[in-house]
Amino acid sequence: MPKSDINKAGWEQSDFPILCETCLGDNAFVRMSKQEFGRSCGTCARPFTVFRWNPGSGMRFKTTVICQTCAKIKNVCQTCLLDLEYGLPTQVRDTALAVGNAAPTSEINREYYAQNMEAKLEGNKSLLDTSRASSAAKDMLKQLARTDPYYKRNRPHICSFYAKGECKRGDECPYRHEIPVDNELSRQNIQDRYHGRNDPVAQKIMSTHAASMGLTPPEDPTITSLFLTNLPANATEQSIRTRVLTSLPAVQPAQLKSVVHVTKTRCAFINFKDRTSAELAAQAWANGLDIDGESVNVKWGRSKNAVAK
């Protein structure tokens, strides 16, 4: 961190953190300790005002890990990095809303980007606009949302010595004496969670949801097609193709092999080059896909063998 004040131009000062209800805790008299430029932001690397507090009795102290600008850009909590409206990982929210990832990944550009975005922010308003989201996307987020505070998340971490049978502190131990279940959250890095990529928790939420909506990936791994029915009468191959791609910012256009539109029966096969893209589409379209304001049904394609039989 630079010592001279001249370099502080892009540094961030704030009076109160941007937090979700869970991280804030149920303690009405929460006291925040505040440290200006206490550390560098976990995503943009600029120094920011760090807050630390106890979210409730028997809970562990919590601290902010990203700056307010980064939190506002993505509308997430400064501590847990979950979406403030739906309590979901950004990867789940952005997949549902078809929001692409515009933030640069190199460190220098990241700082520059955050500074530029800061200038565009007004008050506490986030740059994320969900008002134009399709109804299928809104349904999906509503179904997946965790809107009630979940204070269990603030409990102390599990005692690593206890798990090995080596903790001698007994009741005095500030950590939880439980055998850990394999916790994917602990292996995640801040960058990935913030930008919504390679997030195993998000993956699990989305694949479970897709399955619950009847879109379990078929066992035959060669199936890379999805089948759309109930298309609007005026849909064309081109309009379907365009809509498919805008709804899947994480899928490269080159991975969409073909769109086969059957006008007579108002259905279409969406053929991807790879299984990963097809699975991503199934997850993103778990609640259907809106084309020209109409909700289209989505199913997995069938294997060639099954069709031949």
Which range binds Zn ion by CB under 5 A, 18-26, 137-145, 186-194, 238-246?
Answer: 18-26
CB of 182 to Zn ion, least distance (A): 20
Query: 196 Cβ partners below 8 Å, 6+ apart?
Result: 89, 90, 91, 92, 93, 94, 95, 101, 202
CB of 201 to Zn ion, least distance (A): 14
> How many other C-beta atoms lie within 10 A of the C-beta of residue 293?
8
Residue 5 has, within 13 A of its CA and on its CB side, a CA count of 0
Closest CB to Zn ion among residues 76, 268: 76
Closest CB to Zn ion among residues 82, 256: 82
Strands 62-63 and 33-40, bridge-based pairing? unpaired
| 18 is an interface residue for Zn ion by CB under 5 A | no
H or E element at residue 210:
helix 200-212
Q: Which of 141, 144, 159, 235 binds Zn ion (CB under 5 A)?
A: 159
- The vertex-297 CA angle with 295 and 301, nearest 5°, equals 150
Q: Which of 14, 17, 18, 44 binds Zn ion (CB under 5 A)?
A: 44
Closest CB to Zn ion among residues 32, 260: 32
Q: Which of 162, 194, 272, 300 binds Zn ion (CB under 5 A)?
A: 162
| 71 is an interface residue for Zn ion by CB under 5 A | no
Closest CB to Zn ion among residues 24, 210: 24
Torsion of CA 250, 287, 190, 129, to 10 degrees: 80
CA distance 281 to 298: 10
Crossing angle (nearest 10°) for helices 135-144 and 90-97: 160
Q: Which of 11, 18, 20, 90 binds Zn ion (CB under 5 A)?
A: 20
Instruction: Give the x/- contact pattern for Zn ion in 76-95, rule: CB under 5 A.
Output: -x-xx---------------
- Number of chain residues interacting with Zn ion (CB under 5 A): 17
Binding site for Zn ion (CB under 5 A): 20, 23, 41, 43-44, 67, 70, 77, 79-80, 114, 159, 162, 167, 169, 173, 175
